[in-house]
Amino acid sequence: MRRCLLRGGLLGNNIWAIALALCSLFVMVPHTRAMPVGGQPDVKRLFRTQLEKPGEKVNLGLAYWIELHRQGKVYRCNNKFAFRSGDAIRIHVIPNSDGYAYIFLKSGSRGDRAVLFPNPKSGTDNRVLGGHDYALPTAARLKFDNDAGTEILTLVLSRKPIDMNRYHSGGVVGRAYVSSAQSGAKDLVPTRMQLCWDDPAPVIIPGEIAAEPEAPAGGESGTSASEPKCLPADLNQAGMVTVIHDDPDEVLSVDIALEHRM
């Protein structure tokens, strides 16, 4: 089509035909813009906007990455990575506003459900401050058992304390779902939420960051939610997943599918 219009204009020496041909080029080749993974170009900017205006309610968001302990080494990754029986993890949560963080086992490989944090065995201090990195649970790591399958954890951030058992029994509207790469499913994000995630390749965490004694069952030790970790700048993006909810008064709920292999 493009070639015929141009030829007709030149042979007939008709300036209007040439103009039409040029217009057709612009119509047929629209302007495109590269989009980041997750399809949302402004998620991180919107996340930072709330951090820069702590006195205002702009939105509610969290960024997270997974601290993986495997065979004596510690890695930084996200759920676009297959986990194995015996692996132990904690989830690093960075909120963009002060609030309260929760971890709920929505569906274990054996079908079990439970509030993983806060509770007496994993730590009870779930108060978080905007812009700080918190390793959750605070007093223990979550360990994969010998039952392979898909484990679905729910990360929840709320500006006010909530009852997690009542919250989940009543159902949740507007939950983001972050699938694992192995499942083949797509990340599902409601219209009022936005999501992006960075390179899933695992990064080895330096020893000074990873060296933290594991808490005995039922004990309280390690970093509490009121004592956030500081991370070196070159690790600030590796494996990071960022989610925001544009309604600052809503509870932010993120389902994370963890692929569990033997």
For β-strands 60-70 and 73-77, DSSP reports them as: antiparallel
Cβ contacts of 239 within 8 Å, gap of 6 or more: 65, 66, 76, 77, 78, 198, 199, 200, 201, 202, 203
Please give the Cα distance from 225 to 137 (Å, whole number): 9
Please give the Cα distance from 257 to 262 (Å, whole number): 16
pLDDT at position 174 is 75
Residues in the chain: 262
CA neighbor of 228 nearest in space, from 120, 141, 136: 136
Q: What is the pLDDT of residues 71-111, one digit of tens each?
A: 989 999 999 888 999 999 999 999 999 999 999 998 776 66
DSSP code per residue over 169-194: HT--SS-EEE--GGG-PPPB--TTEE
CA neighbor of 227 nearest in space, from 132, 95, 91, 155: 132
pLDDT at 54 over 50: yes
Residue carrying structure tokens 């302007």: 31
Q: What is the pLDDT of residues 183-229, one digit of tens each?
A: 777 888 888 899 888 876 778 886 655 555 344 333 333 344 545 55
The pTM of this model reads 0.75
Please give the Cα distance from 124 to 52 (Å, whole number): 29
Which run of H or of E encompasses 65? strand 60-70
For β-strands 193-197 and 241-245, DSSP reports them as: antiparallel
